[in-house]
Amino acid sequence: MGHGVVVVESSTTQSVPPPERADFWSELVNSFHCRMSYEFASRQNFHGQVVCRRTNGYQLVDWTCDALVYHRSAGQIRRDTDEDYRLLLPLNGQIAVRQHGREARLSPGASGLMTMDQPFLFTQSAGTRGVVMTIPRREVDQRLNSSAPVATGLDLTTGLGRVVGNLAVGLYQERANLTPTQFDAVADRLVELLCMLILGDDRPTAPPHLAEVANVVRRYVREHAEDADLNGRSMAHALGWSLRQVQLALQHTGTTPRELIKEERLQLAKERLQSPAYRQWTVTDMAHRLGFSSLSAFSNAFRQRFGVCPRQLRG
C-alpha cells in the first residue's frame, strides 16, 4: 500500500446462502490473517460478521460469530509465513488460546498476545465479540529487546492495563473518524504502553515527546525505504524537525538514523524475498531498489543481520 492509504472492509455471512456460510467465513478470516483450519460447532447457517480497518502499519478487526475453534499447524506455518503479533481483546463472551505450552482464558477486561508463526488452538464461545489488532513483530520485540510472552492474560481493569484497554477500545470506536496518520500514531502509542504493561514497569524509557518523535521517524523510514536519497537530514527536513532532534530521539531507542534506515531496508528485503509477489525481482534488483550501493554490500549486510545470504532465504 502507498503512503497514507487506508482500507476499510465490512463483511457478513448473511450475504451468502446458508450452506456456503462456513466456507465463506473461513476464506474471509484467512484473507485478514493467514491460512488456518476451522472446526465449526455447526456449519448450517453459521453466523459471523467483521469490520476491518487496515493502514500501512496496523490492522484492526472487530468480529462476532458463532462458536468456533481455529487452529494452525506447523505445515500451514511453513507454507504461509506470518510473524506478526495479534493482540486479542474480547468485548463479549470468552476466548481460550493455547500456544507454546501456555493457555490463556480471556474474557472482557483481559487481553492477550498470540503469534501466527507458532502452532495454536483458539476457541471462542457462541456470540463472542472481540477486537484483534495485528502488530508488526519488530514494533514489540525492539521495545522489549526480546520476544513477547504469548498465551498469557493481561489485566485491563486497573492501572496501566486500564489505560491500554481504553485506548484500544477508543481506537476501534473512532476508527472511521481518524486519518491514517492519526490511526497509526494512536496505534504506536498503544503498542508502547502495551510493552510497558508486559514489562510490568509504568515508567517510560524516554521522555514522551522524544518517544513520539522516534515512532514517527521509524514509520517514515519504513514508508520511504526505497528512496535512494533517504538519510537523517532528508527525513528530518520532511518531518519538520531538526536533525539533532531526530538523532536524540533515536538515541533514546538505541539506534541512529543510519542504523534505522539500514534495519528497515533489510527487514523489507527479507519480507519481499519470502513473498511470491516479488518473485520476479532478482536479488540485484532488490539491492538497488532498497538503496544499497552494490549487490555485495547488500548481501554482506543481509548475512550479518539474518545469518543467511539473500539467495538462501529465497530458496
Domain map of the chain by residue range?
7-186, 208-314
How far is 214 from 259, CA to CA, in rounded Å? 13
24, 16 contact by CB (below 8 A) = yes
Q: Give me the chain's average pLDDT, please.
A: 87
Mean pLDDT over 197-201 rounds to: 74
d(CA 294, CA 245): 31
Question: Fold match between 7-186 and 208-314?
Answer: no
pLDDT for 6 equals: 60
Whether the Cβ atoms of residue 140 and residue 148 lie closer than 8 Å to each other:
yes
**CATH class of the domain comprising 7-186:** mainly beta
Residue 122 confidence (pLDDT): 96
Taking residues 27-44, report their average pLDDT.
93
Q: What is the pLDDT of residues 155-166, one digit of tens each?
A: 898 888 999 999
Indicate the pTM of the whole model.
0.64
Interval 201-234: pLDDT, tens = 433 344 445 677 788 888 889 888 888 889 998 8
For the cut 90, the answer to whether the pLDDT of residue 235 exceeds it is no
- pLDDT for 256-277, tens place per residue? 999 999 999 999 999 888 888 8
**Residue that the C-alpha cell 447457517 belongs to:** 45
Q: Give the rounded percent of residues in the chain with a pLDDT score beyond 90.
A: 47
Q: What is the pLDDT of residue 222?
A: 86
CATH H superfamily, domain 208-314 = Homeodomain-like (1.10.10.60)
**pLDDT at residue 315 tops 80:** no
